[in-house]
Amino acid sequence: MHVTILGGAGFLGRKLANRIVADGKVAGRAVTGMTLLDLAPATAPPAPFPVTVMQAGLDDYEKLRRAMPDGTGVVFHLAAVVSAQAEADFHLGLRVNVEGTRNVLAAAASLPAPPRLVFTSSVATYSGGQQALISDATRQVPANSYGAQKIIGELLVHDYARKGFVDGISLRLPTIVVRPGRPNKAASSFASSILREPFVGEDALLPVPESFALFIASPRSAVAWLLHAAGLASDAVGLDRSINPPGISVSVAQMLAALAAAGGDRARVKPVDDPDIMKVVGPWPARFDTARARALGFAEQPSLDSIVAAFLEDDLAETKALRVS
């Protein structure tokens, strides 16, 4: 079986590719080839099967189709314009997150057999603020363009699956912490920065109060959920193809305490006033009832301390290297 990762140069795409190589299979099927497509050049991990690297945007249908050769059984669609950037450049977000996702689905639908397509949506599709409790039945009312674009993507995946063109699953990922490398243009970038920068001897900017809470998950959990979604039985999922995986709710104060407990310098975290970031993240809810995901076998996110420990073990060395390169 061939596997395609769109967004293969991103941190999550790289981790997913490495895990697939290590496992040698996805959804219980042996992997015989893999394609990594991104705007930036991905690095092919050493693998016992062919790994093809392609550079293209989601607007290039022909390259998308070539990235999914006949025999592709699973497509992971991780590519996106992230939250703050999508809010600042509405048309770019629409072009990539909506029109690009439409191209991805059209390319996948042209395969001889419908592939399992796993789409990364986001908890940013919800609003309601800090007091909201989100259940699987909660109506999605986004408070930013990124969230709206991800909902459109979910609906496209839903309808392509309903029609039998693809076998689609959408995962509304929590905020992923700790992202390795450098800060990106996501509005939630501070959530990783406050647990990352102090360990490399740099300051981190905190644009929200310490009482602010987030629904988070580690890269390890995100990769495990993506692979679990790839193997879910369609009958078990049913008509509703969107799932809220079981992250954890933590406050910034708890994150800073975990930083200090792991030996990080809490004084490196500097409060700042950033109304643009608060406008995007302020409506995000932090509490989720994830009963459906747990019933479908998605593993719960371990403790906050384990998230910090995983970053130190998996990504600190690489992150330090990037700061001196």
Measured in degrees and rounded to the nearest 5, phi and psi for residue 58 equal: -75, -5
Query: Given the DSSP bridges, would you call strands 248-251 and 72-77 parallel, antiparallel or unpaired?
Result: unpaired
Q: Does 146 qualify as catalytic in the annotation?
A: yes
Exactly one of 61, 126, 146, 160 is catalytic; name it. 146
Q: Which contiguous run of DSSP H or E holds residue 306?
A: helix 304-314
Cis check for the bond before 3: say yes or no (omega within 30 of 0).
no
* Helix-strand-coil split of the chain, %, nearest 5: 45, 20, 40
Tokens of 226: 């993506």
Q: How many residues does the chain have?
A: 325
Residue indicated by tokens 């009312």: 141
Residue 64: name the closest of 139, 28, 115 by CA: 115
Q: How far apart are the first and last CA of the chain?
A: 37
Residue 73: name the closest of 45, 33, 36 by CA: 33
CA distance 236 to 301: 22
CA-to-CA dists, residue 115 to 7, 92, 118, 168, 173, angstroms: 18, 28, 9, 8, 21
| Residues with a known catalytic role | 146
